[in-house]
Amino acid sequence: MKIKLILWGAFVFIIAISCAQEKESKKVLVKQKQPNIIYILADDMGIGDLGTYGQTKIYTPNLDLLAERGMKFTQHYSGSAVCAPSRSTLMTGQHTGHTPIRGNRQLVEDEEGQVPLPKNSVTIAEILKEAGYVTGMFGKWGLGFGEGDPNNQGFDEFYGYNDQKLAHRYYPPYLNHNQKIDSLEGNDWTHKVTYSPDKIRDHRLQFLEDNKDKPFFAYVPLVLPHVELISPNDSIFKMYDGKFKETAYTADNKYTSDYGSNIVAYEYSPCDKPKATYASMVTRIDAYVGEIIAKIEELGLTNNTIIMFASDNGPSPEGGTNPDFFDSNSKFRGYKRDLYEGGIRAPFIVVWPHKIVAGSVTDHISTFWDVLPTITEITNTKNPKEIDGISFLPTLLDKKAQEQHAHLYWEFNIRGGRKAIRKGNWKGVWNDINKKKQGVFELYDLSKDVSETIDVASLHPEIVSELKQLMEDSSTESVLFPFK
C-alpha cells in the first residue's frame, strides 16, 4: 500500500468522516461491546511539531483533525525524558521513582536488547487480555527480550523492533515478529530497499482487519521521527524538498555512520537535507495516523473506538535534527533528556465519538502513568496494587469529579543524575545530583514562567525544602538505575 499525497488523503478523510457522522447522528445508539482502544506513540516528537499545537512549517492535517474531533490536553506529561523509561511508566502506571525501567540501559553491553521489564510487572496489555481483548503491539518496544518481551507482557501479537538501538535504523535487515525474525527484502546494511515503518504499518492495519469483530487493544509505538534522519523519496518528502535552506549532516559528525560495509549499525546516517527529511518524517506520522483512522472507518468501528495520540518525550537535538528551527518544543525550555518542560511536556489527543466533546481542550494536569487507570476505568477492569496514576476519565467525559495529583515526579540517573517534581504550579528541577559537586536545586513558578527562565529558589526556601523531601519520598531505590 503506497501512501497518497497527504493533503489529498486528508481531504478525502475529512469528507468521509463528515458523511459518516451525519449518518450516525440519525441512528439510535445501542449498547455496544467493550470499546476498542488504539494508543499511538510518536518517538522524540515535540509538542510543537503538530499544527494543532502551533506548528507552521510542517503539515499534520490528520492529527489536527483528531484534535477537532476529540479532546486536546495542554498539560500532559510523558513518563520520562527518554524512550525506555517513558514506555515503562505507560505500561505499568508507575512513575520513574517506582517503575522497574528507569533508563535506556542495555542488558549486556554491545548486545541487542535493553534491561527487561520484569515478569511480575502488570501491564495494560495483560489487564486487557485477561478481560477478553485481543492485544497487538506494532513498532518499537525497548523493554527487553526474554521476560520483558511483548509476548510475555500481555501482547498476543508483536511486530517491529524489540531493541531500540536497532531502531536507530529505518532500513535494517530484519524486524521481530513475535518470537521469529522477519527478514526485510533487499536490506543488508548496504542496500536500502524496504522502509521498516511501512512494513510495520502493513502489520498493524492487518491486525485491525483481522480483529474487527472482537474488542482489541492496539499499541502503536511509532519509530518516527527518531533519528536517523532518512525518508523515502516519495510524495511526502517532495512536499518539503527544496523548501528550506539546508546544511548537510555528514558522516564527520559524532555518532554518525553511513550504510555500507563499514556501517556502525546503532549510529545515525548522514543526511543531505535534514530539515526537509525531519519535516517529512513528522508528516509521515500524520499519514500513518490517517490510515489507521480510515481503516477504522472502513470497518465500521469509528463509534466504538478510542484513539489516543502522544509522544514519548521532547524533541531530540541529535543526528542532524533542528528543533529550534521548527519550534518543536514550542515555548518550553529543554529537549530530550532534560527534565525541564521541553523534555517532558507532551502532546496528547483523545478521540471517543459520542463520549468526548469534539474540539474540547483541557488544562488538566495528566501524565503517562495515568493512562493505565484511565483504561481500567473505561473497561471496568482492576488496577494493579501499586500504581501512581489517576484516571482522567472524568475529564474526558466532562465530569466534575476529577481527582488531581498531589504532585508529579521524574528521575533520570544518567547525565549526572536528574530529578524533577511538579506540585501545583511549582516546578523543581535538580541536575547533577550524582556528581561530586552537586547542581543547585532550581525552582520555577509555571503560572508565571512556563518557559522556566527565572529560578526563584532563593525566594522560597520553604518550598524548596518541601519539594526536596517529596523527591526523596517519591523514589524507591533501584540497583540498576541508582542515585547516590
Q: What string of DSSP letters covers 100-145? A: S--S--BSSTTSS-BPPPPTT---HHHHHHHTT-EEEEEEE--S-S
Report the alpha-carbon distance of residue 167 to residue 155 in Å, rounded: 20
- Residue 318's identity, in one-letter code, is E
Residues comprising the chain, all counted: 484
Report the alpha-carbon distance of residue 38 to residue 309 in Å, rounded: 9
pLDDT band at 152 (very low <50, low <70, confident <90, very high): very high
Report the alpha-carbon distance of residue 273 to residue 285 in Å, rounded: 19
pLDDT of 442 > 80? The answer is yes
pLDDT of res. 249: 98
Q: For 72-93, what is each residue's pLDDT tens digit?
A: 999 999 999 999 999 999 999 9
pLDDT of 17 > 60? The answer is no
Identify the residue with better confidence: 24 or 225: 225
Task: Tell me the three cell numbers of residue 405.
Answer: 495529583
pLDDT band at 336 (very low <50, low <70, confident <90, very high): very high
pLDDT of res. 430: 98
Contact indicator for 166, 83 with CB cutoff of 8 Å: no
Choosing among 3.30.70.260, 3.30.1120.10, 2.30.30.90, 1.20.1340.10, the CATH entry for 406-484 is 3.30.1120.10
pLDDT band at 387 (very low <50, low <70, confident <90, very high): very high
Average pLDDT, the chain: 94
pLDDT of 408 > 90? The answer is yes
Helix (H, G, I), strand (E, B) or coil at 15: helix
pLDDT of 13 > 60? The answer is no
pLDDT of 117 > 70? The answer is yes
Identify the residue with better confidence: 203 or 12: 203
pLDDT of res. 111: 85
pLDDT of res. 284: 98
Peptide bond into 225 cis (omega under 30): yes
Helix (H, G, I), strand (E, B) or coil at 175: strand
pLDDT of 112 > 60? The answer is yes
- Residue 348's identity, in one-letter code, is F
pTM: 0.94
Positions of CATH 3.30.1120.10 in the chain: 406-484
Contact indicator for 38, 306 with CB cutoff of 8 Å: yes
Positions of CATH 3.40.720.10 in the chain: 35-405
Q: Cα separations (Å) of 323 from 49, 79, 238?
A: 9, 20, 21
Architecture of the domain spanning 35-405: 3-Layer(aba) Sandwich (3.40)
Q: Under 8 Å CB-to-CB from 269, ≥6 apart: which residues?
A: 169, 228, 229, 230, 256, 257, 258, 259
Closest CA to 289 of 16, 66, 47: 66
215-231 mean pLDDT = 98
